[in-house]
Amino acid sequence: MLKIIRARDYKDMSRKAANIISAQIILKNDSVLGLATGSTPIGIYNTLAHWCDKGDLDFSQVKTVNLDEYVGLPAYHDQSYYYFMRENLFKKVNIDINNTHLPDGTAENAEEECERYHNVIESMGGIDLQLLGIGNNGHIGFNEPSDIFETKVHKVELTESTIQANSRLFDSIDDVPRYAYTMGIGEIMSAKQILIVASGKAKAPIVKELIEGPVTPKVPASILKFHGNVTLIADEDAMSLVK
Ligand SMILES: O=P(O)(O)OC[C@H]1O[C@](O)(CO)[C@@H](O)[C@@H]1O
C-alpha cells in the first residue's frame, strides 16, 4: 500500500523527504541508501548537506548505491549521474567516496557491467532506504514502460518521452544518450523502505495514474503499491489531479 504525504510545495516536499532519510541515518549510521538523480531530489540533497554541515547528520559510515547511469558518459561528463551525485551531494557531506556506487557508463561489456553492479548491491546486504523520482511516463530509475517488469540491473533503450524530457539538460537532443544502465524492479522492490517524491504540475497526470491506476509494467512505478513500506511525498501541484 502506498502511504501518501501531501507537501505544500517543493521546499516542503524536500524537507519532509530529508527528514525521513535523516531519521534512517540516525537510526542506523551505516545505512545503505539507494539514491536517485533528476531535478526532484536536488532540494533533498541540499537539505541533507546543510544538516551535515551544521553537524546534525553524519554520513561517515553511510553507503550509497545509485539507480542508474547513462551508457557512454564518463564520470567527468557534466551530464553523467556520477557527476550529478558528486556535485549535488557527495562533495558536500562527509561521505567516504569509496562507499558510493553507480553503474559505470564507460564499461566495455554491458552484460558484465550489469552483473557487476547487481553484485555490488547484493554485497552491501541490500538497500535500507531507496529514494525515487518518477518520470513523466511512470519510469523509476530508467525502468521504462514495457510489457514486463525487468527484475535485475539491465541496459535499457530510453523512450522518446524520456529523451525529450532529459534533453533540457543537454546542448541538443542529439547529445542525449540513447541507452542507460538501471537497477531492475526486483532490486528496487527489495529495498526495506522506499520513498518516492514528486513535485510540480507536469507530474500531476502520472501521480494520478500511480495512485488511482492499476499495477502494470506500462507504468513501472505502479509496482510500488505491492511494497510493504513505501511512501509517496508529493506537493500540491503534483497532487492537483488526484480526487
Ligand atoms: O526529477 P525529474 O528531473 O523530473 O526526473 C524524474 C526521473 O527521471 C530521471 O531523471 C531519468 O529520466 C530519473 O532519474 C528521475 O527519477
Query: Which residues are the active-site residues?
Result: 68, 137, 139, 144
Q: Which residues of the chain have pLDDT under 50?
A: none
The set of residues, in sequence order, having a beta carbon less than 8 Å from that of 170 and lying 6+ positions away, is: 79, 176
- Residue 125: which region, alpha, beta or left (left: phi > 0; alpha: psi -120 to 50)? left
First vs last Cα of the chain: how many Å apart?
18
Which of 224, 194, 200, 197 lies closest to 210 in space, CA to CA?
224
CA of 133 to the centre of ligand 1 (A): 6
Pocket test for ligand 1, best of 69, 80, 134 (most atoms within 8 A of CB): 134
Calpha distance 39→64 (Å, rounded): 19
Interface confidence, given as ipTM, is 0.92
pLDDT of res. 1 = 87
Pocket test for ligand 1, best of 35, 136, 139, 144 (most atoms within 8 A of CB): 139
pLDDT of res. 48 = 98
Other beta carbons within 10 angstroms of residue 216's beta carbon come to 15
Which of 99, 125, 232, 136 lies closest to 187 in space, CA to CA?
125
Calpha distance 175→208 (Å, rounded): 32
CA of 164 to the centre of ligand 1 (A): 12
For cell 529495498, the residue is 191
CA of 199 to the centre of ligand 1 (A): 11
CA of 5 to the centre of ligand 1 (A): 20
For every residue of 151-196, which 3-state class applies, written as one string?
A: CCCEEEECCHHHHHHHHHHCCCHHHCCCEEEECCHHHHHCCCEEEE
- Atom in ligand 1 nearest the alpha carbon of residue 67: 14
The CATH architecture one would assign to domain 2-200+218-234 is 3-Layer(aba) Sandwich (3.40)
Full-model pTM: 0.97
Length of the chain as a residue count: 243
Does 38 contact ligand 1 (Cβ within 6 A)? yes
pLDDT of res. 243 = 84
Does 220 contact ligand 1 (Cβ within 6 A)? no
Query: Domain segments of the chain: what residues?
Result: 2-200+218-234
Q: What is the mean pLDDT of the chain?
A: 97
29-65 burial, b for 16+ CB within 10 Å, e for fewer?
Answer: eebbbbbbbbebbbbbbbbbbebbeeeebebeebbbb
Does 162 contact ligand 1 (Cβ within 6 A)? yes
**Beta-strand runs (E) in the chain:** 2-7, 32-35, 63-66, 68-70, 100-101, 129-132, 154-157, 179-182, 193-198, 230-235
Calpha distance 17→231 (Å, rounded): 10
Question: Of all protein residues, whose CA lies closest to atom 16 belonging to ligand 1?
Answer: 133
CA of 198 to the centre of ligand 1 (A): 10
Which of 38, 37, 40, 36 lies closest to 7 in space, CA to CA?
40
